Amino acid sequence: MIRFPLVKHGNKWILSLSRSIYSDNSIASLLKEFPSLVSLKRKSQKNKIELLVKNKEIHVALDVGNFLLSHNRSV
Amino acid sequence: MFGVLAIDRTMTHRKGNMHNIITTGSIDGKQCALLQVNTEIYSLQTIYAAGYTFLDRAYILIDKGKNNKILNVMIFNKNNGDVQKLGMEFYNELINYAHYFSRVEGNAGIIKTIMQRVLFSVNPKFSEEAEEQEIQDLLKELEKETPKKSAKS
């Protein structure tokens, strides 16, 4: 069994991210850039952060991951 | 909270102590490759750089593995192509950037010298200041040397 950070939740996706990999800055930029698409769900663990992606398409949730990676790289 | 990746069992066979480093599977019908990357070999900076080159043709998710040394990298092909091939290309890209960063670190001194030269050629003031500093340093050295020589004689 492999733990996977992306879970479908009805018509939404929950993205569980490690804070040591995705910086707080990049997550803050994402929330600022797409406030209607992404919201902060809750902190499940100390080192994790959960994002709720309000779209049923998987590629939209995956695009969120790409946005965070590109922001991490550019900072 | 974590989902479970449906694993393609044919890709996870083991032989002795060796096991496949790329696992393929699917989530919501979308094929993906799961790569395990050792952070003792490849830095996080290298993993970011390699992932960045794939952003136009793949979706990348990075997560911590079971222990702190291993990172799981999940790659989804944007065009529904061969994800295993994409995974292999990712490993190549890791090598490429690991080499690049090690060279940059090794050549840091030379790069600094070249950059200083370039800046000096653009602004002569920098060059004059550096020359002045060099002269002052030489004069100080001479002053230190002179009493010793006179003492000997």
Output the DSSP codes for B115-126. HHHHHHHH-HHH
Chain A interface, mutation test: which of B8, B57, B61, most A Cβ atoms within 10 Å?
B61
CA of B5 to nearest chain A CA: how many angstroms apart?
Answer: 6
Q: Check pLDDT > 90 for residue A67.
A: yes
Residues of A whose CB is below 8 A from B27: 4, 6, 58
The question of ipTM being above 0.85 is answered as yes
For chain A, the maximum distance between any two Cα atoms, rounded to a whole number of angstroms, is 35
Query: Which residue among B1, B61, B62 places its CB closest to the CB of A44?
Result: B1
The answer for residues whose C-beta is within 8 angstroms of residue B26's C-beta and 6 or more apart is B5, B6, B8, B32
Report residue B25's pLDDT band, with 50, 70 and 90 as the boundaries.
confident
Beta carbons of B26 and B6 less than 8 angstroms apart: yes
Q: Check pLDDT > 80 for residue B47.
A: yes
Q: Check pLDDT > 90 for residue A61.
A: yes
Region B22-34: what's the mean pLDDT? 89
Global confidence as pTM = 0.74
